[in-house]
Amino acid sequence: MVKIGAHVSIAGSIDRAVDRAEEIGCDTFQIFSRNPRGWRFKEISEEVAEEFKRKLKRSGMSPPVDHMPYLPNLATPKEDVYQKSVEALALELDRCEVLGIPYLVTHLGSHLDSGKEEGLNRTVDAIIKALSASENDVILLLETTSDSKNSVGGSFEDLAEIMSRVDRDDRVGACFDTCHAFVAGYDVRTEEGLDETMEKFDQTIGLERMMVVHLNDSKGPISSKLDRHEHIGLGEIGEEGFRLILNHPAIRTRPLILETPSDERRDDRGNIAKVRELAGED
């Protein structure tokens, strides 16, 4: 059985996310523990943390995954934004610990024309600082990116370099996003391309470090660097592509999280059903 879930809203209270995930039939789920489009947020009260953990345990869903908000940029050359970003990352790791969430997914940011080397240096330094400011068991997952302009971490090699320089194998892993990898140029929709991509991932980062998969189809074509998610099977990766992806042993054994749209064509429930069908489970 594949473990499939979706990104769900925390509107009302963080523990409500567990209800929503259960309602749509998730085995695993992802949240933003706070507003992803701002810097300011409230602390999590003990009552809310207890309620979240109680509901989670009762539901049997696992693992819960947290995603970093969008404003922090670990590669920025702007000193004020950089300091705030490192602090936001450390605080988010703390929030995961409070909620009993084992994984925090983060994007790698943009060097804003300061150059890839400088961006990599900044990122490595930011991660080291945040991990030591938040000493716990929460694992930070670096997400594969769409390789858009000025981005850091567009290739598996970049991700591997960051991981080896941070040198905390106990606290850092990777999140493989199918849409991002595809638009960055990894052809996951053919058997040969998928095998090659997984082999490449294994040789650079190591498959044992792929701890979560973001399962998204893509509106943009291969190598377009366009980060536009589409319903499973309705995008450029397509049904046949996802049938291969969902039957690949490196992927089907991981927690799979949908970050697909919800519109008149389909909602999360519909995408979960499509995933189960393509994984051969309906």
Q: Which does 217 bind (CB under 5 to 8 A by kind): Mn ion, Zn ion, none?
A: none
Q: Which of Zn ion, Mn ion, none is residue 236 near (CB under 5 to 8 Å by kind)? A: none
Report the residue closest to Mn ion, judged by CB: 214
Of residues 215, 127, 121, the one with CA closest to residue 175: 215
**Two tokens at 112?**
């804003």
**For binding to Mn ion (CB under 5 A), which residues are involved?**
143, 177, 214
Looking at the Cβ atoms of 184 and 272, the one nearer to Zn ion is 184
Among 217, 227, 230, 268, binds Zn ion (CB under 5 A): 227
Q: Are 26 and 61 in contact (CB under 8 A)?
A: yes
**Beta carbon nearer to Zn ion, 27 or 217:** 217
How far lies 215's CA from each of 103, 114, 139, 156, in Å?
16, 31, 20, 18
d(CA 74, CA 193): 31
Residue 92, CA distances (Å) to 37, 55, 126, 166, 218 in order: 14, 21, 13, 18, 28
Residue 227 contact among Zn ion, Mn ion, none, beta carbon within 5 to 8 Å by kind: Zn ion
| Backbone φ and ψ of 193, nearest 5° | -65, -40
Cβ 219 to Zn ion shortest distance, Å: 11
Q: Which is nearer to Mn ion, 27 or 66 (CB)?
A: 66
Compute the distance between CA of residue 7 and CA of residue 105 in angstroms, rounded to an integer: 12
The item of Mn ion, Zn ion, none sharing an interface with residue 214, based on CB under 5 to 8 Å by kind, is: Mn ion
Determine the Cα–Cα distance for residues 11 and 176; give it in Å rounded to an integer.
Answer: 27
Residue 178 and residue 216 in contact, taking contact as beta carbons nearer than 8 Å: yes
Closer to Zn ion by CB, 15 or 227: give it: 227
92 binds, among Zn ion, Mn ion, none (CB under 5 to 8 A by kind): none
Closest CA to 219 of 204, 234, 209, 241: 234
Nearer residue to Zn ion within complex by CB, 161 or 227 = 227
Q: Which residues are catalytic?
A: 37, 67, 70, 107, 143, 177, 180, 214, 227, 229, 259
Residues that bind Zn ion (CB under 5 A): 227
